[in-house]
Amino acid sequence: MSRLIKTPVSRRSLIKGAGTLAAASAVPTGWAIAQAKPLKVGLMLPYSGTFAKLGENITIAIEQLIAEKGGKLGGRDIQIIKLDDESKPENGPQNAERLVKRDAVDVLIGTVHSGVQMGIHKVVRESSTLCIVPNAGVNTVTREQCAKNVFRTSFTNWQPAYGMGLAAGKKYKKAAWITWDYAAGAESGQGFKDGFEKGGGQVTKTLTLKFPETNFQPLLAQIPDLGVDVVGAFFAGGGAVQFVKEYKAAGLKAPLCGSGFLTEGVLGPQGDAAEGIETALHYGDGIDNPQNAAFRKTFKEKAQRDADVYAVQGYDAAQLLAIGLEAVKGKIEDEANLYKAMRAAKFASPRGPVSMSPSQEVVHHIYLRRATKGENKVVGIAAASLSDPGTGCKLS
């Protein structure tokens, strides 16, 4: 049995076959052994580079949820296997294969960077491995290329940027969008434009630089001549720290706003430069519910720093996995019932109530926040219970 589980090719069907055999012969080998084995959860996340802290917070929060469940999900012990993807898209497929084939993980939770996600997506679709996305927002994962074994507890790139665009479009007429030139930046830009136009304004210019470059000066120098009333941005992690500081130092008239990642988890190092910046995100400071209070307290004890949206997304990835595994009592091979329970999941996230859309994307409020004295203070709801359109997804 254990030899079969390690066989890389069609591991899942061999496990299923072994279970059936054991049941038929009434010998307590197959299921008994399979049930006793820990469930392998692969974490493919950035633990180095500009997104390192994002990957760490996701990991800490996943471990927090598992610990709160007594170390077991659906009655199964959990074995975590971590892999640093370095936010390098070129290594994405190979890294995902290492987890799925060499380490034979039962579930892959990953990742942060949209480009790397596409490598994971290819591998998990081909191998039918359960995948839960705890950050990367690349739209197609829950749109054209949606798959029954892929769920996301974070956002689509479109969602928070749409919320920001909607709020800003009601206040300003002309906007520019500035970002890294990769999927997350471009798709957020589209979300911002959709929202801004719906609010009544017009996005007249997009400025980009390569990921993860931080040579912002040539772009900032163009802004005064654009005649825009507001600038929207997508940057995150270390890049966001530097961008916000340089935007402030440039003394530009147009206020800065953006997808909430711009100021998320980075207000400390951004200091005064972030004061007053408005962003939209599915999390923020001041969300008053018992789950959030308990989550933040435990996270802080464990991590020695405050929780942020990345931590929440990791926690909810583990919550969703727990819901699925509890429904099938740890028998992850029972795909039909596992996915059914995960699709129907409605749970109390620290961010507020969440559910899953037909394309297996999280549905949640997008909050409007204002950076105030080191906090992303929630000042309103930019878009209530916002579901991604899921365009092109055939799951139903």
For helices 52-68 and 309-327, angle between their N-to-C axes, nearest 10 degrees = 40
- For residues 141 to 170, the per-residue mask of contacts with ligand PHB, x marking binding by CB under 6 A and - elsewhere, is ----------------x-------------
Task: Please pick, from the candidates 18, 43, 66, 112, the single residue that binds ligand PHB as defined by CB under 6 A.
Answer: 112
- Nearest to ligand PHB of 15, 109 (CB atom): 109
Query: Which tokens sit at 320?
Result: 């969703």
Query: Which tokens sit at 145?
Result: 């290329």
Is 129 in contact with 103 (CB distance < 8 Å)? Answer: no
What does the alpha-carbon distance between residue 304 and residue 314 come to, in Å, rounded to a whole number? 17
What does the alpha-carbon distance between residue 184 and residue 331 come to, in Å, rounded to a whole number? 35
Query: Which tokens sit at 63?
Result: 């471990």
Is 367 in contact with 281 (CB distance < 8 Å)? Answer: yes
Task: Please pick, from the candidates 59, 95, 114, 376, the single residue that binds ligand PHB as defined by CB under 6 A.
Answer: 114
Is 143 in contact with 391 (CB distance < 8 Å)? Answer: yes
CA atoms within 13 A on the CB side of 279: 31
Alpha-carbon distances of 90 from 85, 120, 235, 313, 369, rounded to whole Å: 10, 11, 21, 25, 35
Stretch that binds ligand PHB, among 109-117, 123-131, 189-197, 374-382 (CB under 6 A): 109-117
SS3 355: strand
Q: Taking Cα atoms as reference points, which of 183, 186, 382 lies closest to residue 281? A: 382
What does the alpha-carbon distance between residue 144 and residue 149 come to, in Å, rounded to a whole number? 14
Q: How far is the CB of 77 from ligand PHB (least distance, A)?
A: 31
- Nearest to ligand PHB of 40, 143 (CB atom): 143
Q: How far is the CB of 48 from ligand PHB (least distance, A)?
A: 15
Stretch (H or E) spanning 270:
helix 267-270
Task: Please pick, from the candidates 60, 99, 109, 136, the single residue that binds ligand PHB as defined by CB under 6 A.
Answer: 136
Asked if 242 touches ligand PHB (CB under 6 A), the answer is no
- For residues 173 to 212, the per-residue mask of contacts with ligand PHB, x marking binding by CB under 6 A and - elsewhere, is -----------x----------------------------
Q: Taking Cα atoms as reference points, which of 276, 261, 251, 278 lies closest to residue 170? A: 278
Q: How far is the CB of 306 from ligand PHB (least distance, A)?
A: 16
Task: Please pick, from the candidates 47, 158, 196, 261, the single residue that binds ligand PHB as defined by CB under 6 A.
Answer: 261
Asked if 238 touches ligand PHB (CB under 6 A), the answer is no
Residue nearest to ligand PHB (CB): 236
Stretch that binds ligand PHB, among 67-75, 131-139, 143-151, 200-208 (CB under 6 A): 131-139
Binding residues with ligand PHB: total (CB under 6 A): 12
Stretch that binds ligand PHB, among 28-36, 112-120, 199-207, 371-379 (CB under 6 A): 112-120
Q: How far is the CB of 182 from ligand PHB (least distance, A)?
A: 7
The contact set with ligand PHB (CB under 6 A) reads 51, 112-114, 135-138, 157, 184, 236, 261
